[in-house]
Amino acid sequence: MRELKQERAVRTRAIILKAAAEVFDELGFSGANIREITQRAGITQGAMYFHFGSKEELARAVMKAQPMTVLPHLATRGLQRLIDLTFVWAHRLREDVILRAGVRLTGEQNSFGMHDPTPYQDWAAVMSECLREARAAGELSDNVDIEVLADFVVSACTGMQMYSQISCERADLMDRVVAMWQHLLPALRAPGDVSPLDGSALRAAEVLREIAPQRLGAGQETRTAP
Amino acid sequence: MRELKQERAVRTRAIILKAAAEVFDELGFSGANIREITQRAGITQGAMYFHFGSKEELARAVMKAQPMTVLPHLATRGLQRLIDLTFVWAHRLREDVILRAGVRLTGEQNSFGMHDPTPYQDWAAVMSECLREARAAGELSDNVDIEVLADFVVSACTGMQMYSQISCERADLMDRVVAMWQHLLPALRAPGDVSPLDGSALRAAEVLREIAPQRLGAGQETRTAP
Q: What is the pLDDT of residues A12-57, one digit of tens each?
A: 999 999 999 999 999 999 899 999 999 999 999 999 999 999 999 9
pLDDT confidence bin for A211, thresholds 50/70/90? confident
pLDDT in tens, A90-128: 999 999 999 999 999 999 888 788 999 999 999 999 999
Phi then psi for A32, rounded to 5 degrees?
Answer: -80, 150
Q: A70 and A54: one domain?
A: no
Of B11, B38, B61, the domain-final residue: B61
Three-class SS state of B140: strand
pLDDT confidence bin for B214, thresholds 50/70/90? low
Segments of B22-120 assigned E as strands: none
pLDDT confidence bin for B1, thresholds 50/70/90? low
Contact A99, A70 (CB under 8 A): yes
What is the pLDDT at residue A221? 42
Three-class SS state of A140: strand
Q: Which residues of B touch A180 (CB under 8 A)?
A: 152
Q: B114 and B89: one domain?
A: yes
> What's A26's domain CATH number?
1.10.10.60
Q: A109 and A172: one domain?
A: yes
Q: A83 and A187: one domain?
A: yes
When scoring B24, B79, B100, B111 by the number of chain A Cβ atoms within 10 A, the one with the most, hence best to mutate, is B111
Distance CA A48, CA A20 (A): 11
User: Closest Cα of chain A to B108: distance in Å?
Assistant: 6
**Contact call for B183 and A109, based on CB within 8 A:** no
pLDDT in tens, B8-44: 889 999 999 999 999 999 999 989 999 999 999 999 9
pLDDT in tens, B124-177: 999 999 999 999 999 999 999 999 999 999 999 999 999 999 999 999 999 999
Is 50 exceeded by the pLDDT of residue A153?
yes
What is the pLDDT at residue A193? 86
Q: Which residues of A touch B165 (CB under 8 A)?
A: 110
Neighbours of A192 (CB within 10 A): 6
> What's A107's domain CATH number?
1.10.357
pLDDT confidence bin for B222, thresholds 50/70/90? very low
pLDDT in tens, A130-152: 999 999 999 999 999 999 999 99
User: Closest Cα of chain B to A1: distance in Å?
Assistant: 44
- Which residue in A108, A180, A185 is closest to B108 by CB distance? A108
- Which residue in B116, B145, B155 is closest to A159 by CB distance? B155
Of A46, A61, A76, the domain-final residue: A61
Which residue has better confidence, B72 or A5? B72
Whether chain A has a CB inside 8 Å of the CB on B163: the answer is yes
Region B110-114: mean pLDDT is 83
Count: domains in chain A: 2
Please give the ipTM for the structure prediction: 0.91
**Contact call for A148 and B115, based on CB within 8 A:** no
What is the pLDDT at residue A4? 82
Report the length, in residues, of chain A.
226
Domain range enclosing B28: 2-61
Q: A76 and A28: one domain?
A: no
Distance CA B75, CA B95 (A): 19
- Which residue in B28, B115, B159 is closest to A159 by CB distance? B159
Which residue type is seen at B144?
V
Q: B20 and B116: one domain?
A: no
Of B43, B61, B79, the domain-final residue: B61
According to DSSP, the residues that pair with A140 across neighbouring strands are: A189
Region A154-164: mean pLDDT is 98
Q: A88 and A197: one domain?
A: yes
What is the pLDDT at residue B110? 82
pLDDT confidence bin for A67, thresholds 50/70/90? very high
Q: A39 and A90: one domain?
A: no
Q: B45 and B150: one domain?
A: no
**Contact call for B157 and A159, based on CB within 8 A:** yes
Q: B169 and B200: one domain?
A: yes
Which residue type is seen at A18?
K
Q: A102 and A180: one domain?
A: yes
Size of interface A-B (CB pairs under 8 A): 116
Q: Which residues of B touch A143 (CB under 8 A)?
A: 182
User: Closest Cα of chain B to A119: distance in Å?
Assistant: 10
Is 90 exceeded by the pLDDT of residue B57?
yes
User: Closest Cα of chain B to A23: distance in Å?
Assistant: 13
Burial (CB < 10 A; 0-12, 13-18, 19+), residue A56, is middle
Q: B70 and B147: one domain?
A: yes
